[in-house]
Amino acid sequence: MDTYTIAVVGASGLVGRKMLQVLEERDFPVKDLRLLTSARSAGIELTFRGKSYRTEEVSARAFADVDIALFSAGSDASRQWAPVAVNAGAVVIDNSSAYRMTDGVPLIVPEVNSGDLPDAGPRIIANPNCSTIQMVVALKPLHDRYGLHRVVVTTYQSVSGAGKRGVDQLQAELDGGVAENPAFPHPIVENAIPHIAAFNESGFTVEEEKMINETRKILGDAQLNVSPTCVRIPVRSSHSEALHIEMRSSFELEDVRSMLSAFPGITVIDNPARMEYPLARNAAEKDDVFVGRLRRDPSVEHGLIMWVVSDSLRKGAATNAVQIAELWLSLLPSTGK
């Protein structure tokens, strides 16, 4: 079996640590591992497959002989170091927003648009925004079967989407204190903050813009109408979304339910009479996208409403990145490494 040298950039962060966990869980063919961080986090001990690894400061020499570099250190780090990794011969799978809308850079959710990576040629592959990933997984079978005209989405996003600072703020407030370095502009406990990332001149936030533009790119539909409102809530690790979908043709609800149930990566939980529907706490530490509360929207023709939940650190970040790496490897000829 071929094995590969893997670098994780941002290894000490929430997503970086989750990447290590997912690589181990999925038995990824790792020959050697480089755990790269900022100077501030260098020297931390992390464990992979029972072996202790010490993080080191990211540098050009750290990418020597690296086959795949998983980046989750923010856009600035990706812009600085992804080209360095590529020049050293690595393929970069980037979890930041730095390259998502760059022409020629595939933006991949393997269950949805693996065909956008037709061979192992691209050296930078972008991992979409966490809230976009779970939405497009739920939308893909509907888009293929019925066509989509408009999607109105409200997100209820966990604090882990803001990294360790977000989790620390939630914990500090739950403990009755105040975070030393808060991630959010307001207290998060007993609150819902309709503000994720900076506002632009249109009144939408950067997070909402990501959902619009990334969804169009991933689904290959530049005319798709997407109208998001992104909200932060005091949940640790799973994002929830209410989707109001206007399709281009008629549908039967049972056909939709069957189609979603059969789609890779989706689990349908939809029995309101027994109070069974996707819950954020139940989605934690799972890789599927959970869909429920399926019902017609009588306010528009061909309207459908659904509730979508997924772990934002796993499918929304680390698992999707590792799945991209697996997809990329499947397109390589065997080298006997």
pLDDT tens digit sequence for 187-196 = 999 999 999 9
Q: What is the pLDDT of residues 289-303, one digit of tens each?
A: 999 999 999 999 999
Mean pLDDT, rounded, for 25-42 = 96
| Burial per residue of 73-108, b for 16 or more beta-carbon CB atoms within 10 angstroms, e otherwise | bbeebbeebbebbbebebbbbbbbbbbbeeeebbbb
pTM, full prediction: 0.95
Catalytically annotated residues = 130, 239
Could you read off the pLDDT of 269-288 as tens digits, one per residue? Answer: 999 999 999 999 999 999 99
When pLDDT is cut at 50, 70 and 90, the band that residue 118 belongs to is confident
Q: Which candidate, 43, 45, 8, places its Cα nearest to that of 28?
A: 8
Q: Which domains does the chain have, with CATH numbers?
A: 4-128+317-330 (3.40.50.720), 131-312 (3.30.360.10)
Q: Which of these, 152, 229, 246, 220, lies nearest to 192 by C-alpha position?
A: 229
Query: Is residue 333 scored above 90 in pLDDT?
Result: no
Q: Are 273 and 288 in contact, with CB atoms under 8 Å apart?
A: no
H-helix segments, the chain? 14-25, 75-87, 110-113, 130-146, 164-174, 206-219, 253-262, 280-283, 319-330
Q: What is the largest CA-CA distance in the chain?
A: 60
pLDDT of residue 335: 47
pLDDT at residue 78 in the model: 97
Could you give the CA distance from residue 240 to residue 94 in angstroms, rounded to a whole number? 23
Q: What was the pLDDT predicted at 336?
A: 45
Q: Which two tokens stand for residue 21?
A: 């966990």
> What's the average model confidence in pLDDT over 85-95?
97
* pLDDT at position 337 over 90: no
